[in-house]
């Protein structure tokens, strides 16, 4: 880890604290179109707390199933889930996760730089998706399968931890994909870690 836990790779600052529980969300590149992002930017000019409102609106758009929703394909969701599970116990401790059709939520205790962890999660599933685009019924154009940035937030206390786990597990229910968190196959609410 670096001596300064804050890094900035572009748009968002990231906190890289060793052994600090982190909630991470990353999404497909096409999950929010440019016109939606521009409209959201104009609307947010009036919001009192722009970052909180921006995050809330992005989550609502993602849950509406925007973009190709390639992660909704069971084979790709399985590849993504395997990517998350592979580093558990080595580069991070995996605490909770949920693979949605166009984004992924993960809760970890990192043991390596957060940017490297997220890149490792994106790498193989992105290549797999391009190789199997026809099978997925997708047209994956350009180099960007994933949005470059990710959103992270460190967990402040036990209450915040419980709130984030519940949010992650309930995300498919809120999005109308299942009736209970345990029914969503691509989530730690369904899969038990050993």
Tell me: pLDDT of 58 over 70: no
Q: What is the pLDDT of residues 98-140, one digit of tens each?
A: 999 999 999 999 999 999 999 999 999 999 998 888 877 776 6
- Rounded Cα–Cα distance for residues 7 and 13 (Å): 6
Main-chain dihedrals φ then ψ at residue 187, nearest 5 degrees: -150, 155
Decide if 122 contacts 146 (C-beta within 8 A).
yes
- Say which CATH architecture domain 6-31+67-183 belongs to: 2-Layer Sandwich (3.30)
Q: Which residues contact 143 (CB under 8 A, 6 or more apart)?
A: none
pLDDT at 144: 80
Mean pLDDT, rounded, of the chain: 82
Which range is least confidently modeled, 22-31, 44-53, 88-97, 130-139? 44-53
- What's the distance, Cα to Cα, between the start and end of the chain in Å? 27
């Amino acid at each position: 880890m670096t001596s300064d836990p804050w890094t900035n790779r572009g748009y968002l600052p990231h906190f890289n604290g060793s052994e600090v529980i982190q909630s991470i969300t990353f999404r497909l590149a096409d999950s929010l179109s440019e016109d939606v992002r521009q409209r959201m930017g104009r609307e947010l000019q009036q919001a009192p707390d722009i970052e909180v409102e921006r995050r809330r609106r992005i989550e609502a758009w993602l849950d509406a199933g925007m973009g190709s929703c390639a992660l909704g394909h069971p084979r790709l969701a399985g590849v993504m889930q395997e990517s998350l599970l592979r580093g558990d116990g080595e580069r991070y401790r995996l605490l909770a996760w949920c693979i949605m059709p166009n984004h992924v939520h993960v809760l970890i205790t990192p043991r390596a730089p957060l940017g490297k962890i997220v890149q490792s999660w994106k790498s193989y599933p992105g290549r797999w998706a391009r190789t199997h685009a026809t099978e997925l019924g997708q047209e994956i154009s350009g180099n960007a399968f994933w949005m470059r940035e990710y959103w992270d937030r460190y967990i402040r206390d036990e209450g915040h931890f419980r709130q984030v786990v519940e949010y992650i597990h309930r995300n498919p229910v809120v999005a109308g994909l299942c009736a209970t968190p345990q029914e969503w196959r691509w989530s730690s609410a369904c899969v038990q870690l050993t």
